[in-house]
Amino acid sequence: MSQLIAPSMLSADFGNLEKDIEMVNASKADLFHLDIMDGLFVPNISYGFPIVKAIASKAKKPLDAHLMIVDPDRYLDAFAQAGVTYLSVHYEACTHLHRTIQKIKSLGMKAGVALNPHTPVENLTDILLETDFILIMSVNPGFGGQSFIKNSYSKIKRLKQMIDERALDTLIEVDGGVNKENAPLLFESGADILVAGNAVFGAKEPILAIKELKKPL
C-alpha cells in the first residue's frame, strides 16, 4: 500500500505562493494537488492555467489536477502542456467517460475518475480497468475546510475490494476533511493518496504536519 500525501494548493497563501511551493518541495509530500473549479459544476471558482503554470515552474514533485468542471474534454491538452502528471475528471461530468480517460492517457498523463459523495463506487465497474487512480470525495466538492463524511470509510473499503478482485494496480485517492486523526484509518481502509489542505497550510508547522500525515500504520 502506498502512503502518499498531496497538499492541496487551494489552501495555500496566494500572496506568498512561491514560499508555499518551496515548503511542499522541502517536505515529505509526494504530489501537488490542484483543485480546478469553474463555478458551474461546483459553486466556487478557484484558479486557471496561469496559476497552474506558475506552480509547475517551481514544483519539484508531480502535479495532480482535479477537474471540478463541466465538459473537461475541452482542456485536457492544455493541462498536459502545463505539466500535469495526474489528471482526474468527475464521473458525474463526463458523458463519454471511457473516451475521456483514453484521451488523458494518450496525452501521457495518469488518468483518474473522481466520485462525488453520493455516487456509488459500483458505478465504476465498467471503467475501473481503464483508470490509474480513483478520487473519492469525502466532502461535497467546491469548498475547503468542510467536515469529513464518515461513510467514506466503507466506500473506500468497497472500492479497494473491487480493485483487489480484479488484481489491478489502481490507486485510491481521498480528498476532503483529511487530518492527522483520520489519516491512519483512511490508509488502513485502502487509501493510497491523501489530499490535505487546511491540515497542512493551516498548521503552525506545515512540514511537520505533512510528516505526521505520512506516519506508517
- What order of strands is seen across the sheet that includes strand 110-115? 4-7, 193-196, 171-175, 133-137, 110-115, 84-90, 63-68, 32-37
Catalytic choice (35, 38, 64, 132): 35
Active site annotation includes 35: yes
Helix (H, G, I), strand (E, B) or coil at 137: strand
Relative to beta strand 4-7, strand 171-175 is: unpaired
Query: Do the beta carbons of residue 29 and residue 7 sit within 8 Å?
Result: yes
Half-sphere exposure of 55 toward its Cβ, with a 13 Å CA cutoff?
33
Catalytic choice (30, 64, 132, 175): 175
Phi and psi angles of residue 216, each rounded to the nearest 5 degrees, phi first? -65, 150
Helix (H, G, I), strand (E, B) or coil at 165: helix
Active site annotation includes 13: no
β-pair partners for 5: 194
Helix (H, G, I), strand (E, B) or coil at 111: strand
d(CA 183, CA 174): 10
Residues acting as catalytic residues: 35, 175
